[in-house]
Amino acid sequence: MELFNDKTRILEYFQKHGILVTKEAMDIILERSMGDLIPSMISDEVIQSGYLTENDVLKLISTPKREKMDFEVYIPDIKSHSSVEDFRKMFVDRYERIRKMIIQSSEMRGTYKISTAKKTYGKVKIVGMVSEVSTTKNGHKKLLLEDLDDNINVFLLKNKGLNNELIIEDEVIGVIGSVSNSGRETVLFADEIIRPDIPYKMIDEQKKPPVYVASISDIHVGSKTFRENDFKKMIAWIKKSMDEAESLKYLILSGDVVDGIGVYPGQENDLDVLNPLEQYEKLAEYIDEVPEDVNVFIMPGNHDVVRLAEPQPIFSKKISSFFKSNTVMLPNPYNLRLEGKNVLVYHGMSLNDMIELVPGASYASVGSALEELLKRRHLAPRYGGKTPIIPSERDYHVIDEVPDIFITGHIHSYSQGNYRGVRYINASTWQSQTEYQKMMNFSPNPAIMTLFDLNSNTTIVKDFKSED
Amino acid sequence: MLDKKLDEYNNLIRKRVDECYAIATEAKSLGRDISTEVEIPLANDMAERVEELIHMKGIASEIRELSKTMSREEVSLKISKKVAEMLRENKDEALEKAVRVGLAILTEGILVAPLEGIKEVKIVKNDDGTDYADIVYSGPIRSAGGTAQALSVLITDIVRRELNVGAFKATDEEVERYIEEIQAYNRRKHLQYLPSDDEIRLVVKNSPVMIDGEGSEEEEISGHRDMKRIKTNNIRGGMCLVLCEGLIQKSKKVLKYTNIMNLKEWDILDKIGNHKKEEKGDKGEKYLRDIIAGRPVFGYPNRPGGFRLRYGRSRLSGLAAASINPITMYILDDFIAIGSQIKVELPGKAAAITPCDTIDGPTVLLKNGDHVKIKNMEEARSLRENIDVITDLGEILIAYGDFLENNRNLSRSPFTVEWWSYYLPDKLKGYEKTVPDQFTAVDLSRKYKIPLHPKYDYYWHDITIDELKKLIDSIKVADFSGGLILTHDIRDILIKLGIEFKNTDNGLFLSEFYPLIISTGFELVNDKIVQLRNIDNETNVMDAVNKLSGIEIKPRAPVRVGARLGRPEKAGDRKMKPKVHALFPILNYGDSRRSILVAAKNRVEFSMELNARQCRNCGNETPLTLCEKCGSITYDENTEKKLSVNVGTVLEKAESHVGFYDLKELKGVKKLMSKSNTVEPLEKGILRSKYDISLNKDGTCRYDMSDIPITHFKKSELKLSSETLKNLGYPDQEINEIYPQDIIIPEDAAKYLLHVSNFIDDLLVKYYNMQPYYMCSKIEDLIGHLVIGLAPHTSGGIVGRIIGFSKVSGCYAHPFFHAAKRRNCDGDEDSIMLLLDGLLNFSKKFLPSTTGGLMDAPLVLTVILDPEEVDKEALNVDTLYKYPLEFYLETEKNSPASSIEKMMKTMKVKMAEENSYTGAGFSFDTSDLSDGTLTSAYKTIGSMEEKIEKQLGLAKKLISVDENDVAARVISSHFLPDMFGNLRSFFTQEFRCTKCNSKFRRIPLSGKCLKCGSDNLILTIHHGSIVKYLKETEKIMSEFKLPEYLQAQIRRLIDSINDTFDIHGDEIVDDAPTLESFK
């Protein structure tokens, strides 16, 4: 598209179409750098009157065009063959893809394979997957690091201050250090740990009218503790299309959209709707109220009626058929591209593990855990915890593309933040405190919707919580 | 108190023990063992056991002295204080020892709790500089029981005061940690009593000592982590037990002592433990809640058709064992065998089953339509295949003492012959033994105004008034010719009443009819049925039949006892897995079989950390007791060193020492588990292999059995000769009351012990160059020989004497013998070993160094049983030959069992009144103690599928069981969790190297074992284990009516599995129902 950034060219353009522009209208156009919106200003109305007025321009700003879009969601068909190879291939894939990210860093130029590094002296650079982490008697940290054909013990010494570095098993890291052959076995003393991490990104603040992505999660329809009133209030707000809702174009539900069945023992006592399909029908009734021109994305979580192991596939045809055509089913996790931006959505089962692993992270404050995921470019770094992952040739939890927005849910608290320009959020829930949470002494922070503006670096938080 | 009447018997036992002890002492003194002394000290009483367990020399006499005037608890507190005083130089030691001694006294010096249940007691500084006592509990504290657990806290408190140690002050955050932790523990392992948050808060805030624990559970706390004074983030199981099931649940008992000791801080206990009642409501159904696949349910709570309660004690019941008719065992497809545990609705949670053929057997409806009470085993065998429905399981005999022990109110007694007999005039007492015919029975009732004989008393309370009316209408028009012929449409009413009939084309033929027509208001006049009275406006069937009959009719079966199969009976030698002959380490050199022969053949020589001994002849350092270089005796250096072992040389030498070269197999261990890494002489292993006997971790050979009681045995059932009987010290008569330490073991156990005795004799002759002792060539030769009886969770054994053999899988012994081991007969099992085996081969140096390692080890041995020192439960065994009439009347009032304790002459009462517990009686005879099913079908049926099929088949057959509910419970409590669990863990599983057995949390990237480089890495959880029960589940779903929610859960699981795996073998049916097809 042609770019309109100076007054002369804008005027020429309108003149070509036989339209005069008022000074006020021109000021607004220039002020808000609305150049690329100009073609859309030539409506039938304007052509008839022959004038472009201030009002015509403002109208365009306040009602950005919402349109229903067709989203092609790529759904990998992954199944396990119940073999050791399935598992191995997945970790090899993880290793290779994250390794590529690590060696892009200039300081990691010239890495060795571990087997080669072992035969050299002095400074080396290697990339490996962590197999074991332990602390020595003297307080140094010891890692067993593996690559595709060898492994080596790496020491993070206390006096270098590296012993406090958070190392998570099965993450892939680069190590710069010196090889020592003096002991019984060859070991590496680390000077520096290099992570794939998120590159610093300049946020290009475009002066564009806002386009909102709304994030909600963990609705738990069908549970006795589902906050139906709050949820209805929220839907009604969207439906009214006032305020920010006018510019709402995308609504994302990141998992546990219903309470499901058989998720934990005795769940039947906590359910309002015992039939899982009826739970989805009920959800569909609410979502039906959302205007057609808002695109709705629904992802499954651990409560939903799809297989538990990640990546979780999209809902079955039967369940999908309950929803209107503005609804798109997503697998979990999924990197959604909206208006040229990466929106990474993950329900967040691995957060249970991360909260235990990351010092300072808790169910009430999960931000630091999310940042650690981004640093490692992986959604579920540690294998063997509480996150079931289907072994396959590709590791679907590697964060290939640097996201602009990173959305999670699952733990029913609410937090948001910004890590190197990535806006992240742990979306809130629409379920009140459950008996289990009561026992665990955890108070959820429910009924909050977050609106991201895809065009600016801003978020808006809408609280729909009513007093209980 | 020792029973004086038993003096002669006790002397016999003591003499034998001394004999064995002398032999063992001599053998050990030769220096060919790892210790030169016998390592099992003998103890005559609790005081000595405590002294030996805690290693406090001289304490026994003080305990004994105090025990004369004080209760156990008071003695415990007193001695603790004394010990603290004695050791006060070293406060830490004083505190720890004092607490352990106190707890040892409370647990009679038998349990392992004082050693293993308390990890440490330490003195820690508060932030403000004051100090406090921190008592760290671990899992085995469980065995001490709630009261002793709670008192151990009090002891700590008292002792720390004695030592001027300050009080613990919990911070608010610490209190919250306790709350979270206890709730988390309760989710994993059910607590008997879960206190409220406030209760926990109150106790932790006010406890002057810190109740702490080892992080015993794998699960970590998620909230209050990394606390300064609570060193672990794992759940502290021991602490949870002591706080909840101890201090709080037993608060009332604890208060008693805090008041005596004037410990004001503990007055708070008065406010807690009060909402205990909550759980009681559905107590009766509890046994159904944890239903297990393949273990059938026999009756739903108090449901007609189930076991009918009968009061009394057979010579094989009491102490939580109940008796049923052997025919019932057979009819139940042999699922219940003698010694099997059943979970019951009342009076306790579970019971072991023994046979009693003088109580009612089952009633069944045959496929030909006949309704039959099965009279004997022969009839049962001919009918079993033709049974359509089991309409009544017969009786279950439960002793009064078990109601007393469980602190229950008496359930109403059924009307039985014993009870009926009290109404008989003296001249007619003969009817107590012989059953009057149907006409006489009615006449007796009319003539003497006594209730109708129980045989003709039907289950009137099980039918409705409308059914009674229907029955009366049917009798009104019934044909009569030699018997009553009733129409087919009242079949179910007759079945409910428990009336026998033959199915004929003309109708149901009743040869026993007279009591029925009398009970329903008719009379037989000149071979014609005439109605005398009709139903008025009665609404209660019992009232109605009493009125219609004009005689007294009492409820025949007011209480049915719901039950299901618990643990099947057990009898077998104990094998370590895999089997071991000698505690001799060979690392990985014996391949996966751990074969010492293989290692020797490969001329393996390795070195490892082992307990070092020195040869003073040639200076060689070796782990062996006989120098492999020069053959001399070596001496323990009590230190560990890296020693090299040449397996070939050692084996050759050992073979030559015992002169046996024909070994087929000789299995060692990979590594030793003990702290000192002490190696057992290989000679012993060679001889064990020769006799094919297995070894336990402590150096002894054990035989494990279910515990079952016997108070009287028959000469004939044990096939004892008069001479044998006399040699054993019994009068030569058919029935004898069993001596308290005599046991009747399974023939299979005898065969095993026979081999062990041969092994011991060989050992004596060939290894120690002494005379053989046992010289047994057949099992009968074992009669009169002694064993050590020892239970898990304890560390004190008791001497027992073999007097005969049975065919059952359980150890028949006096209730006091089981109680001396701290066991009852509700499905518990424990072990025996030959006395000389224990004395010669046991060593503490073999015991694992892990927590619990001291459990089930004979650290001390009681020679003579003292009834004062057995588990108090056994004192509730009743001893009457016949329960008195008053008893039955009390049951009608649902009186508390404890209110008539004296009248029922329990062992406790008997001992108090007669100063003797011998001369006890029993109220029901059993023909033969081996009569009945010998092995539960649960054990003989191979596949789980078949077990479940039988379980559900029985459920359908029994009118006392809701088969659809059983099916639903099996699936939801067993199959679904199992499949879901495996599905979940599939994705987080470990990997294993088949070559070196190393485990890996994650598969190495290279796909090769990081230890040995082999590429034989395999999954630890396979697709197969996920779909293991899938087929069975689907089958059950199609055959039974399951709740919809459960059906949806199953379909969801099937979908999930299909969505996860790309394997379509036999296990997954392609057209399996899915969630899609559900709606």
Name every residue whose Cβ is closer than 8 Å to that of residue A262 and which is 6 or more positions away in sequence.
B976, B980, B1048, B1049, B1052, B1053
- Residue A261 Cα, gap to closest chain B Cα (Å): 6
The pairing of strands B484-486 and B502-504 is: unpaired
Is A77 domain-assigned? Answer: no
- Closest Cα partner for A219 from A170, A124, A151, A283? A283
* In chain B, where the domains are located: 1-38+718-866+928-934, 45-272, 436-552, 575-690, 962-1077
Residue A221 located in a structural domain: yes
B843-855 pLDDT, tens digit per residue, is: 999 999 988 889 9
* ipTM of this complex prediction, to 2 decimal places: 0.84
> What residue has token string 């927590």?
B851
Peptide bond into B578 cis (omega under 30): yes
Question: Between A24 and B767, where is the model more confident?
Answer: B767
Alpha-carbon distance B48 to nearest alpha carbon in chain A (angstroms): 44
Q: B1049 to chain A: nearest residue by CA?
A: A262
| Distance, CA of A68 to CA of A327 (rounded, Å) | 10
Mutation for testing the A interface, residue in B1005, B1009, B1063 having most A CBs under 10 Å? B1005
pLDDT: which is higher, B1071 or B1005: B1005
Q: What is the pLDDT of residue B784?
A: 97
Contacts 24+ apart (CB under 8 A), B652-658: B652/B600, B653/B626, B653/B628, B654/B681, B654/B682, B654/B683, B654/B685, B654/B686, B655/B686, B657/B626, B657/B683, B657/B766, B657/B767, B658/B683, B658/B686, B658/B687, B658/B762, B658/B763, B658/B766, B658/B767
**Nearest CA-CA distance, residue B652 and chain A, Å:** 36
Average pLDDT over residues B1048-1075: 70
Chain A, 387-446: which have a CB under 8 Å from a chain B CB?
A: 387-391, 439-442
Averaged pLDDT for residues B67-71: 91
- Same domain for A50 and A119, yes or no, is no
What does the mean pLDDT of chain B come to? 93
DSSP state of A15: H
CATH number of A333's domain? 3.60.21.50
pLDDT band at B680 (very low <50, low <70, confident <90, very high): very high
Report the gap between the CA of B852 and the closest CA in chain A (Å): 27
Q: Which of residues 283-342 of A touch B (CB under 8 A)?
A: 305-309, 313, 316, 318
**Residue A206: pLDDT band by 50, 70, 90 thresholds?**
low
Pairs across A and B, CB distance < 8 A: 137
Do A176 and A42 fall into the same domain? no
Distances from the Cα of B597 to the Cαs of A376, B578, B627, B656, B667, in angstroms? 52, 16, 20, 15, 8
Q: How confident is the model at residue B331 (pLDDT cuts 50, 70, 90)?
A: very high
pLDDT for A97: 96
| Contact call for B1062 and A80, based on CB within 8 A | yes
CB A49 within 8 A of CB A304: no
User: Scanning every residue of chain A, which has its alpha carbon at the shortest distance from the alpha carbon of B1008?
Assistant: A149
Question: What number is the average pLDDT over the span A161-168?
Answer: 90
Please work out, in degrees rounded to the nearest 5, the angle formed at the alpha carbon of residue B679 by the alpha carbons of B675 and B680.
Answer: 125
What's the one-letter identity of residue A226?
Answer: F
Which pLDDT belongs to residue A38? 74
Confidence of residue A35 (pLDDT cuts 50, 70, 90): low
Among candidates B1005, B1010, B1079 on the partner chain, residue whose Cβ is nearest the Cβ of A92: B1005
Residues A268 and A304 occupy one common structural domain: yes
Q: pLDDT band at residue B276, thresholds of 50, 70 and 90? A: low
Show the tokens assigned to B250: 């037993």
The confidence score (pLDDT) of residue B277 equals: 47
- pLDDT value at position B280? 46
- Report which DSSP code applies to B944: H
Q: Residues of B with CB below 8 A from A440's CB? A: 180, 222-223
Q: Are A364 and A396 in contact (CB under 8 A)?
A: no
Residue B1053: closest CA among chain A residues belongs to which residue?
Answer: A307
- A262 and B976 within 8 Å at the Cβ level: the answer is yes
Is the CB of A316 less than 8 angstroms away from the CB of B1075? Answer: yes
Range of the domain at A169: 105-194
The whole-angstrom distance between A402's CA and the closest CA on chain B is 26
Q: What's the average model confidence in pLDDT over B27-52? A: 95
Question: What is the predicted pLDDT for the residue at A163?
Answer: 84
Nearest CA in chain A to B1019: A84
Task: Tell whether omega for the bond before A311 is within 30 degrees of 0, i.e. cis.
Answer: yes
In chain B, what residues touch A439 (CB-CB under 8 Å)? 183, 187
Tell me the CATH number at A182: 2.40.50.140
Q: CB distance B1006–A146 less than 8 Å?
A: yes
pLDDT digits (tens, 9 = 90+) for B194-204: 888 889 999 99
With a cut of 80, say whether residue A268 has pLDDT above it.
yes
* pLDDT of residue B729 exceeding 90: yes
From the list B220, B1004, B1063, the residue facing A146 with the nearest CB is: B1004
In a domain, A93, yes or no: no
B7: which 2 tokens?
């003096």
CA nearest neighbour of B794 among B186, B178, B320, B108 = B108
Q: Which of B22-31, B400-409, B477-486, B1064-1073 has the lowest mean pLDDT?
A: B1064-1073
B841 vs B793, more confident: B841
Separation between Cα atoms, residue B371 and residue B494, nearest integer Å: 9
Q: What tens digit of pLDDT does each residue of B912-964 get?
A: 999 999 999 999 999 999 999 999 999 999 888 899 999 999 999 999 999 99
Do residue A331 and residue A455 come from a single domain?
yes
Which is more confident, A3 or B315?
B315
What is the nearest CA distance from B669 to chain A, expressed in angstroms?
29
Per the CB < 8 A criterion, the answer to whether A381 and B1002 are in contact is no
pLDDT at A69: 62
Find which of B194, B1060, B1067 to mutate to test the A interface (most A CBs within 10 Å of its CB). Answer: B1060
Contacts of A388 in chain B (CB under 8 A): 984, 986-988
Distance CA A245, CA A236 (A): 10
Of B1006, B1059, B1079, nearest to A307 by CB-CB distance is B1059
In the block, tokens 């006010």 appear at B206
For residue B1016, what is the nearest residue in chain A, using CA coordinates?
Answer: A84
What's the pLDDT at B283? 60
Shortest alpha-carbon distance between residue B235 and chain A (Å): 14
Nearest to A385 among B187, B988, B1018 (CB): B988
Whether chain B has a CB inside 8 Å of the CB on A363: the answer is yes
Residues A243 and A303 occupy one common structural domain: yes
Question: Residue B417 corresponds to which tokens in the numbers above?
Answer: 């012959």
Residues in chain A: 468
Please, what sign has the CA dihedral across residues A240, A243, A249, A252? negative
Residue B1067 pLDDT: 43
Angle at B761 between CA B758 and CA B763, to 5 degrees: 110
Preceding omega of B746 cis (within 30 degrees of 0): no
Facing A309 at nearest CB: one of B180, B987, B1017:
B987
On whether any CB of chain B is under 8 Å from the CB of A385, the answer is yes
Q: Specify the 3-state DSSP secondary structure of B295.
A: coil
- The region of weakest confidence among A6-10, A337-341, B633-637, B1059-1063 is A6-10
pLDDT of residue A6 exceeding 90: no
Q: In what order do the strands lie in the sheet with B605-615?
A: B621-622, B605-615, B634-646
Chain B hits for A148, Cβ within 8 Å: 1005-1006
Query: What average pLDDT does the segment A288-298 reach?
Result: 94
Q: Does the distance separating the beta carbons of A83 and B1019 come in below 8 Å?
A: yes
Q: What is the mean pLDDT of chain A?
A: 89
pLDDT at B1063: 74
- Contact between chains at B1010 and A151 (C-beta distance less than 8 A): yes
Q: Are residues A187 and A236 in the same domain?
A: no
Q: Please state, in angstroms and rounded to a whole number, the distance separating the CA atoms of residues B470 and B553.
A: 20
Q: How far is B186 from chain A (nearest CA, A)?
A: 11
Answer yes or no: is pLDDT of B1077 > 70.
no
pLDDT at A64 over 80: no
φ/ψ of B924, rounded to 5, equals: -135, 135
- B187 interaction partners in chain A (CB closer than 8 Å): 439
- Does residue A158 contact residue A144 with C-beta atoms inside 8 Å? no
Say if residue A141 is in the same domain as residue A183: yes
Q: Per-residue pLDDT for B337 more than 50?
A: yes
Q: How far is B1013 from chain A (nearest CA, A)?
A: 10
Please identify among residues 113-142 of chain A the ones whose CB lies closer than 8 Å to any CB of chain B. 129, 131-132
Is the pLDDT reported for residue B223 higher than 90? no
B-chain CB neighbours of A436 within 8 Å are none
Question: Does residue A407 carry a pLDDT above 70?
Answer: yes
Q: Quick check: A400 and A383 in contact, CB under 8 A? A: no
Question: How far apart are the CA of A160 and the nearest CA of chain B, in angstroms?
Answer: 25
Which of A184-188, B223-227, B481-485, B926-930 is least confident? B223-227
For residue B258, the model assigns a pLDDT of 87
Compute the half-sphere exposure of residue B682: CA atoms within 13 Å on the CB side of its CA: 33
- Enumerate the residues of chain B whose CB falls inside 8 A of the CB of residue A380: none
Instruction: Name which of B826, B848, B962 is nearest B319 in CA terms.
Output: B826
Q: Is A266 in the same domain as A403?
A: yes
Residue whose C-alpha is closest to residue A246's, from A293, A298, A296, A297: A293
Higher per-residue pLDDT: B515 or A204: B515
Taking an 8 Å cut-off on Cβ atoms, the answer to whether A356 and B220 are in contact is: yes
Question: So what's the pLDDT on residue B1073?
Answer: 42
Top-ranked range on mean pLDDT: pick from A377-391, B528-542, B740-754:
B740-754
Alpha-carbon distance B598 to B569, whole Å? 37
* Highest averaged pLDDT of the listed ranges B79-93, B227-241, B281-295, B875-889: B875-889
For residue A364, give the chain B residue with the closest CA.
B223
Over 70: is that where the pLDDT of B1066 sits? no
Q: Say whether the peptide bond before residue B41 is cis (omega within 30 degrees of 0).
A: no
Continuous segment of H or E residues that includes residue B149: helix B146-162
Which pLDDT does position A65 carry in this prediction?
A: 52
Interface of A with B in 227-256 (CB under 8 A): none
Mean pLDDT of B242-259: 89
Say what the pLDDT of residue A184 is. 80
- Give the C-alpha separation, B666 to B663, whole Å: 7
Report the distance separating Cα B141 and Cα B231, nearest Å.
20
The residue-averaged pLDDT of B670-681 equals 94
Q: State the CB neighbour count (10 A cutoff) for residue B506.
A: 12
